[in-house]
Amino acid sequence: MTGDEFVFRVKELTPTLYRICAVQLAAAADREDAVQDAIMRAWKSLPRLRDDGSFKPWLIRILINACHDIQKHHRRNISTDSVPEPPLEGASRADELKYALFTLEESLRLPVLLHYIDGYSVRETARMLGITENAVKLRLMRGRKALKRQLMEEVFEQ
């Protein structure tokens, strides 16, 4: 993959990269650090990527790891930046949805985001998260239930 292709493909993925960071990290500065770190790691490891067709799940996997690193750092330092603000009374529906997604258990949040929101297949989601397709299906089911409990409404079309 050439440098130009790399740039093109990263830019093409920007909305997905942003959403992954947005549901993982509350602070804007952390999201920017995570995406920067992920791009740098990806660029450095690019010669080892055997199949260009796997670029998308590969980069997403790297970004998820970069987000985890920042979360770990926050856990060690007990940073308040890592905790999202709960929506105030009368907050918009969008704020409620965002908060519901953010506070979903992490093992459910990423599968829900990648599959239902970003439209990746169960297989692709499984590859990105390093789990089996069955585990993805189970987490999706549980994620939907958890969101429904919190938002008191059905979520996602089947």
Partner 1 sequence: MIRSQDFIDAIGKPDPDFEKRISRTLDSVTASARPRPARRMIAYASAAAAVLAIFIAVASMMRSTGSRPDILAAPSAAMPTAIHHTATPVPSEQPAPSPAQLPEDWALFEAAYGQEIFALYPCAEFSRAEAITADQSGWYLNDHSGELLACRIMTGRLQEFDTDGEHEFVSINAVMPPYSSAVEDFMRSSPKWLQALYYNEEVVGNGLPLMHIIITLDESGQPFCCEMILGEEYQHYISWIRDETGEFVQLQSYYDVNHEYADTYFD
Binding site for partner 1 (CB under 8 A): 3-4, 6-7, 10-11, 14-15, 17-19, 21-23, 28, 31-32, 35-36, 39-40, 43-44, 46-47, 68, 72, 75, 93-98, 101, 105-108, 116-117, 119, 126-127, 130-132, 134-135, 138-139, 141-142, 147, 151, 153-157
Using CA atoms, how far apart are residues 67 and 79, in angstroms rounded to an integer? 15
CA 89/CA 98 separation, integer angstroms:
15
What is the smallest separation between the CB atom of 130 and partner 1, expressed in angstroms?
5
User: By C-beta, is 22 or 82 nearer to partner 1?
Assistant: 22
Q: Pick from 97, 90, 96, 95: which is nearest to 116 by CA? A: 97
As measured in angstroms, the least distance from the Cβ of 45 to partner 1 is: 10
Both tokens of residue 96?
Answer: 């409620």
Element (H, E) at 151: helix 133-151
